[in-house]
Amino acid sequence: MPVDQHSDPFEDRLGAALRQTGDTFAPDGAALAAAGRARGRRLRLRRRAAVVSGAASLALVGAGAALVLPGDDSAEAGRSSVASGPTVGSSPTPTAQALSRTEMISTLRTLLPEGQISGGDARGTNEDLPPYAQVVFDDGKGAGSISLGLDRIEPGSDRAREVAECPDKTLTSYDSCTSTRLPDGSLIKIFRGYEYPDRREDTKLWTADLITPAGQYVTVSEWNAAAEKGAPVSRPNPPLSEAQLEKLVSAEVWRQAVDAMPEDAAKTESSAPVTGPVAVDGDTIGQTLAGLLPKGVEVVSKGGQDTEYAYLVVDDGKGRSLVQINVQPDMRDVAHQLFGAGSEIRPDGTLVAVRQGLGEKSGAGVVMLTADTMRTNGMRVVVSAFNTGDQNSDATRATPALTVGQLKEIALSPKWERIA
């Protein structure tokens, strides 16, 4: 994530899926990257956030996996792409129910199991920004923070898919994640992971995200501490079980509250204007990267996102090694922050910077090598390799499978100019 301090509990949790994946590429020394989609203001914000934070790479992993729906016997009938949106219709909530800040907290309190509730912060449905509620809950086994937020998401949109899909385990460390369809056609994801994917602290983060066919979005997050950050762990697990999370996030009152929100309280990603160069397809990036690997390096697994980012797990006979790449259009506006003193300027004007060091948010002993390049048209190609097949785990080999020289050769390949 670009920053670790937040002022709005709901905004922190609204992009739960983004956070779970984005944290995987949190700061690593001087290595800088940004891989937001080429979508107007969001792209610019992500670029600058990555530069300010010194992020090694901010990749929004969209695995594109199909959801296996419970109760279907046939393989074809049992699979439904999140991107296509819910196929089972349901009637909209019969009435909208506006909730003030006080009512948001009191409604959340009513829906929680028996226990002691303290603190509280909220925003109502009649405000400019989406509503949320946050409390500290103690069932007698220790205090845990619980927050709930409401919004709208267009079914079938990129944002809906990002929320509903489970993260790629190669990139994000978590204990479990399920994404299924409810009888009313809504999609629900239950995620059990960690506030910090590298587990530098023992704070656990469990979330439940619900997207209805009508585009109502409800998200619940809970921690095994009285606050998401800066508070000591107070219990082994967050207070609500998976079943209790599902019950809370599915309560009809939240859908009615979403319907009471002003139309401009939330803007779906699909409504954002597309500006600037078209982003490169993620599958194409992965295939091109695989074709540029040196002889003797075999691809074990692969993945990435829809655009701009891909990764390969490779093996040169000495163990698995993660290789990741970002291909970003026109990043000239941040070139001066990415390529400082010591960077190479090639005869054709291409900027080149190489970096190596320990992965600050990776497992023990993990080394990260990076070759960062930018053509004169602003196209940025940055490739990194690790001495582990999973950067959330400890090092499994002495050095990455690719050298700095090989990474540099890959990043400078003219093939990137042909696909961008």
- Beta-carbon contacts of 106 under 8 Å, excluding residues fewer than 6 positions away, are none
d(CA 113, CA 306): 40
DSSP label at residue 84: G
Asked if residue 406 belongs to a domain, the reply is: yes
| 56-66 burial: b if 16+ Cβ within 10 Å, else e | bbbbbbbbbee
| 314-353 burial: b if 16+ Cβ within 10 Å, else e | bbbeeebbbbbbbbbbbbeebeeebbeeeeeeeeeebbbb
Asked if residue 338 belongs to a domain, the reply is: yes
CA distances from 150 to 13, 93, 97, 308, 324 (A): 10, 15, 13, 29, 34
**Boundaries of domain holding 171:** 67-271
Q: What is the pLDDT of residue 82?
A: 35
d(CA 348, CA 346): 5
Give the Cβ contact number of residue 268 at 10 Å.
17
User: Do 97 and 226 share a domain, yes or no?
Assistant: yes
**Alpha helix stretches (DSSP H) within 181-317:** 242-249, 252-259, 282-291
User: Do 339 and 231 share a domain, yes or no?
Assistant: no
d(CA 159, CA 144): 28
**Structure-token match 């295939």, residue found:** 287
CA distance between the termini of the chain: 26
Considering 253, 271, 289, which residue would you say is the last residue of a domain?
271
User: Do 357 and 310 share a domain, yes or no?
Assistant: yes
Considering 271, 302, 336, which residue would you say is the last residue of a domain?
271
User: Do 121 and 254 share a domain, yes or no?
Assistant: yes
Asked if residue 2 belongs to a domain, the reply is: no
Q: What is the pLDDT of residue 213?
A: 93
User: Do 251 and 336 share a domain, yes or no?
Assistant: no
DSSP label at residue 180: E
Asked if 134 contacts 146 with a C-beta cutoff of 8 angstroms, the reply is: yes
User: Do 352 and 395 share a domain, yes or no?
Assistant: yes
Q: What is the pLDDT of residue 10?
A: 42
Asked if residue 353 belongs to a domain, the reply is: yes
Asked if residue 61 belongs to a domain, the reply is: no
Asked if residue 47 belongs to a domain, the reply is: no
| 111-147 burial: b if 16+ Cβ within 10 Å, else e | bbeeeeeeebebbbbeeeebbbbbbbbbeeebbbbbb
**Structure-token match 């994801």, residue found:** 189
Considering 271, 304, 323, which residue would you say is the last residue of a domain?
271
- Find the radius of gyration of the CA atoms of the chain: 22
Asked if 84 contacts 156 with a C-beta cutoff of 8 angstroms, the reply is: yes
Per-position DSSP letters for 113-175, written without gaps between them: -SSEEEEEEEE-TTSSSPPEEEEEEESSS-EEEEEEEEEE--TTSHHHHHHHSPPPTTTS--S
Q: How many helices (H) and strands (E) does the chain have?
A: 11, 16
User: Do 221 and 299 share a domain, yes or no?
Assistant: no
Q: How many domains does the chain have?
A: 2
User: Do 221 and 317 share a domain, yes or no?
Assistant: no
Q: What is the pLDDT of residue 110?
A: 95
User: Do 188 and 321 share a domain, yes or no?
Assistant: no
Averaged pLDDT in 10-residue chunks for the chain of 420 residues: 34 41 35 34 34 33 29 32 35 73 96 94 93 96 96 88 85 87 91 83 93 95 91 95 96 96 60 59 92 95 89 95 94 91 93 83 82 95 94 88 96 91
Q: What is the pLDDT of residue 94?
A: 57
Question: Which residue type occupies 216?
Answer: Q
Q: What is the pLDDT of residue 182?
A: 87
Could you tell me if residue 377 is left (phi over 0), alpha (psi between -120 and 50 degrees) or otherwise beta? alpha
User: Do 228 and 301 share a domain, yes or no?
Assistant: no
Phi, psi of 251 (to 5 degrees): -55, 135
Asked if residue 236 belongs to a domain, the reply is: yes
Asked if 356 contacts 337 with a C-beta cutoff of 8 angstroms, the reply is: no
User: Do 345 and 400 share a domain, yes or no?
Assistant: yes
Tokens of 304: 């990435």
Q: Any bridge partners for residue 192, and if so which?
A: 176, 206
Q: What is the pLDDT of residue 198?
A: 67
User: Do 246 and 108 share a domain, yes or no?
Assistant: yes
SS3 assignment, position 90: coil
CATH number at residue 412: 3.40.1000
Asked if residue 26 belongs to a domain, the reply is: no
d(CA 311, CA 290): 9
